[in-house]
Structure 1
Amino acid sequence: MKKKRKKYIKIVAGILIFILFIIAFGYGLQYIDNKTEKTNVSDEDSINDWNVQVARGKIKLNKKKYDYYHDFENYLLIGTDASGNDGEGDEYQGSMADFLMLVIVDKTDGTYSFLQFNRDTMTEISLINHEGKGAATATLQLCTAHWYGGNKEQGCKNTVKAVKKLLGGMEINGYYELNMSEIPTLNQIVGGVTVTLEEDFTDKYPEMKKGATLQLTDDEAYAYVHDRYGVGDEENASRMKRQQQYMTGFFKKLQDKIKSDSNYTTDIFNQLQDKATTDITIGTISNISNIFASGTNKGIYELQGESKVGQALGDNLDHIEFYVDKDSMVTTMEDLFGIKEHNNKE
């Protein structure tokens, strides 16, 4: 079946949203090491001690109840694309949330980790109206949750609600949203990032040959971490590899800047503050910054599953639909949150 592509859906280079969030949370944070190249961390890196006696919360997965025992704070990073508008009331149309990543802070053992979601993950979405109300739901791509509501705040809250449902009711403490249009700004802030190109981009930029090593201009950086269609195998996994590569280079440049100016990260945050939509306060950032600065990074996780072509959106066009493997959901949540099946005798 030949896939038709919807013009208003563009794939966001969301990993840079992750970069911005780290900047805000952990001043002087070291860039993520080679553990981030793994889809899931190994058994050796899994959580070692979940022997806290009193359950701090409960979730429900696959009709089974699970408890978790550590003190977690979870923050959702949302990267939106160029769809939607800035209208008001009935004129407002939200953007697609093409990049979604949960930042997981374990306050009990001083670690942090990340759960990156496939934008096409099929899950229950609340079809709220322009007043942010409505009880109707539908199983749609996760990226559409930000589409609903009457403003960006409502779209973000609806996305948080969808992710919470997907994870069986796991609490999410806040959100941070930034548009993909800020990618060139981020590249400019550090004076460009040098990479060895994983794919060929010479159709747009003659110098961007596969295997070449060059410092990316702002426009080239946008293309490198954003473009998928017409690049290589056009697969999301290939694009994510480029995003991680760029992220590592970005952090190296950032560290050099911080060494010469201790206020550098604060300046970056201030430059982009009015472009973000968030309910995270400076006080919250201060409370968890120590973990990001000195804690242990457990890596980036993903939920495994199967992609299919379907028409759940109801627009008579074919779109990718990603269905999470139920066993993968449980094992990933075990690794991240140390969940244990609830004992009804307790």
Structure 2
Amino acid sequence: MNKRKKIIAIMIVIAVVLLVGLFGYGIWKKYAAKETAKENTEEYEDESYITYKGKRYEYNYHLKNMLFIGVDKSQEMTETEVGQGGQADTLILLSMDRENKTTTLLQIPRDAMTDIDIYDMNGEYLSTERGQISLQYAYGDGKKKSCRMMMTSVSELLYEIPIDSYLALGVDGIADITNLMGGVTLTVPEDYTDIDPAFKAGETIVLAGEQAEKYVRYRDVNVSGSNTQRMERQAQFMEALARQMQGKDTGWYRQLLEGAKEYITMDLSVDEMERMKSYEMKETIEKVPGEVKQGEEHDEFIVDNEKLRDLVIKLFYKPVE
């Protein structure tokens, strides 16, 4: 079992690796609101087929897609007013191919610039504006509505590929889960002593509680591009967590999820998650292409729409001979 396959086990715990929603449609529609070059003509023949760069493709109906949302909220996940539910600090799309029994991870930067639907305190729609994709979560109720809104925003960013289900984890859930596990052991790959004195390069440490949260969550908002380094730490943490979860049964997962249930919102059952264990994780973790630029107030990840179209075709479509 390779390292990426191990990620599946971990994602099951902190809110990860499973996708089992009802998947019954797949389409590629032209997303007119997106600022994207028009040189490459795309013909939308029906709900299943497209012609892109002179080649014909069909949506891969064997896929089921689940969105993992790491929520930047240090309280229990409860329904709340608009603006009080936190933001989507981590976004990972898990795409499971039922035919090949493989799972692909696609990371979406929290700072990716896209269209955000704005709502007032009563939940009434006001306007659509350009903003970081992470903000869309805050315009919901902090639970199911926020998750559904994030599913829509990510789907639209990815040219409306269907997303079937979601799993959201509040930041405090990281501390609870690592405490329940007795800590997560890993070797610090580079010097992170600016985050915590214990995070020395080459040191093998046991992360639990607030220290684990720090390792996964911290970034210096005053340093442009700091989210990229944080995403790398998150991937390393998940791999380390996976190594400690091998051979665990459904009852163990249930107990772990029960211990952190106040910080989790999902539309999946534990049994559905359990069925994911037979899938092999692909070694390459895909990332939405683009570059970080300094905005007026915060970092802005500017998506390379042409490269993103190519990536979406590669991951979610198959050529028609």
Kindly indicate whether the alpha-carbon contact (under 8 Å) linking 1:199 and 1:232 is maintained by their aligned counterparts in 2: no
In structure 1, the partner of 2:53 is none
In structure 2, the partner of 1:20 is 14
Q: 1:180-235 deviations in whole A, cap 9, x for unaligned?
A: 11211121122112222134354664443222222234332222222222999973
What CA distance in whole angstroms lies between the structure 2 residues aligned with 1:327 and 1:186? 39
What CA distance in whole angstroms lies between the structure 2 residues aligned with 1:58 and 1:75? 17
In structure 2, the partner of 1:178 is 169
What CA distance in whole angstroms lies between the structure 2 residues aligned with 1:190 and 1:88? 28
State yes or no: 1:197 paired with 2:191: no
What CA distance in whole angstroms lies between the structure 2 residues aligned with 1:210 and 1:150? 40
What CA distance in whole angstroms lies between the structure 2 residues aligned with 1:200 and 1:147? 33
SS in 1 for 2:308: helix
| Deviation of the 1:135 alpha carbon | 5.9
State yes or no: 1:327 paired with 2:306: yes
In structure 1, the partner of 2:47 is none
State yes or no: 1:308 paired with 2:261: no
What CA distance in whole angstroms lies between the structure 2 residues aligned with 1:143 and 1:98? 6
Change over 3 Å in CA distance of 1:18–1:226 after alignment to 2: farther
What CA distance in whole angstroms lies between the structure 1 residues aligned with 2:13 and 2:80? 32
Change over 3 Å in CA distance of 1:340–1:266 after alignment to 2: same
State yes or no: 1:294 paired with 2:278: yes
What CA distance in whole angstroms lies between the structure 2 residues aligned with 1:136 and 1:145? 12
Kindly indicate whether the alpha-carbon contact (under 8 Å) linking 1:24 and 1:265 is maintained by their aligned counterparts in 2: no
Opposite residue 297 of structure 1, the aligned amino acid is: M
What CA distance in whole angstroms lies between the structure 1 residues aligned with 2:85 and 2:250? 37
In structure 2, the partner of 1:224 is 215
Change over 3 Å in CA distance of 1:24–1:271 after alignment to 2: farther
Change over 3 Å in CA distance of 1:266–1:18 after alignment to 2: closer
2:158 to 167, 181, 191: 167
**Structure 2 length normalisation: TM-score?**
0.76
Change over 3 Å in CA distance of 1:339–1:19 after alignment to 2: farther
| Deviation of the 1:132 alpha carbon | 3.8
2:259 to 271, 292, 296: 271
What CA distance in whole angstroms lies between the structure 2 residues aligned with 1:194 and 1:147? 33
1:100 to 67, 91, 96: 91
Change over 3 Å in CA distance of 1:304–1:202 after alignment to 2: closer
Structure 2 portions without partners, runs of 5+ = 1-9, 45-49, 51-57
Structure 1 portions without partners, runs of 5+ = 1-15, 27-54, 312-317
SS in 2 for 1:263: helix
What CA distance in whole angstroms lies between the structure 2 residues aligned with 1:88 and 1:110? 36
1:60 to 30, 55, 58: 30
Change over 3 Å in CA distance of 1:325–1:200 after alignment to 2: same
Q: 1:258-313 deviations in whole A, cap 9, x for unaligned?
A: 2xx662112112222342122x142xx545743x22223224210110211223xx
SS in 1 for 2:120: coil
Change over 3 Å in CA distance of 1:294–1:140 after alignment to 2: same
Opposite residue 309 of structure 2, the aligned amino acid is: V
In structure 2, the partner of 1:34 is none
2:69 to 61, 64, 78: 78
2:149 to 155, 158, 165: 158
SS in 2 for 1:246: helix
Change over 3 Å in CA distance of 1:158–1:128 after alignment to 2: farther
Change over 3 Å in CA distance of 1:124–1:216 after alignment to 2: same
What CA distance in whole angstroms lies between the structure 2 residues aligned with 1:182 and 1:89? 18
Change over 3 Å in CA distance of 1:264–1:243 after alignment to 2: same
Q: 1:116-173 deviations in whole A, cap 9, x for unaligned?
A: 1000101111113344442621111000001113443222222111111111111111
| Deviation of the 1:101 alpha carbon | 1.0
What CA distance in whole angstroms lies between the structure 2 residues aligned with 1:17 and 1:133? 34
Kindly indicate whether the alpha-carbon contact (under 8 Å) linking 1:196 and 1:213 is maintained by their aligned counterparts in 2: yes
Kindly indicate whether the alpha-carbon contact (under 8 Å) linking 1:201 and 1:231 is maintained by their aligned counterparts in 2: no
| Deviation of the 1:95 alpha carbon | 0.8
What CA distance in whole angstroms lies between the structure 2 residues aligned with 1:89 and 1:226? 23
